[in-house]
Amino acid sequence: MKKSTIILCFLSVLAGTISAKAQSDTTWHHGWFGHNIAGAVQVQVTYRQSKPGQLNAILNNNQIGSLPGNNVWINLSMSHIHHRWLFEDGIGGTPTSTANNGNNLKVKHNQFQLYARGAYNVSKSSAFRLYPFVGLNLSDAMLRIQDNARTESTSDFSQELLNSTSSKTLWNPQFGLEFGGGFDYVIKMKSKQMDCYTIERNIPIGIRLGYYLQATSNKWKINDNYNLNNGPSNKQSAVFVSFNIGLGYEVKK
């Protein structure tokens, strides 16, 4: 988990650096606000079908019920616009899915992701944007086992410290690529004047359709980087569709 967290942070910094560079490459010649700064803060709801078949087979072999698929992702993202180039970075996750064995043992499953995309707007209209995109995606699946029957078998603090239980957390970090296209319809709002700057506000409503390609096949892990053999190995590559709404801005001097 430690290594995957470092990688996630690195991608976030890289995405921020790329977008900042895209918005400030004229700063050296013209100073801050030498050109318009534009972007948006967004909420995205994504549907991407998960493939829990192998995981459920292993759970069933251990007398644990099947997990429903984590197909819906809720993401928070930011877009950064420089001329006709668009950059988008975001973070998100799925709701928790749960299974149990009827003996107060529960299994909970979540997925998390961090992504960065680059796109080029092929539309010349100010009312909408149409663009192909490519992106990088770091994800991590988390499987939590809660053995409440054994964990709650004693009320003594000292005995609980070394109590034998099946409770544990497993991780499965992966790296993937994204390919697709997006469309944003831009609803103009009343602009706001601040000193010598004008902030043009808008509400972008859009859709993204693409394909997530899982590029790695990392093993499930426990205790940071201790690998586990014979775990689920099927890739989660799949088509995805995202619906997007946000609050956009463009700062003009």
For the stretch 52-76, pLDDT in tens is 999 999 999 999 999 998 999 999 9
Instruction: Output the CA torsion 29→31→37→41 (10° steps).
Output: 120
**pLDDT score for 5:** 52
Domain definitions of the chain by residue range: 1-23+36-180
Q: Report the phi/psi class of residue 224: left, alpha or beta, with left for phi > 0 and alpha for psi in -120 to 50.
A: left
**pLDDT score for 35:** 66
Average pLDDT for 204-230: 94
Separation CA 222–CA 142 (nearest Å): 10
The mean-pLDDT minimum among 9-18, 21-30, 174-183, 243-252 falls in 21-30
Asked if pLDDT for residue 43 goes beyond 70, the answer is yes
C-alpha angle 157-161-167 in degrees, rounded to nearest 5 = 120
More confident residue, 116 or 103: 116
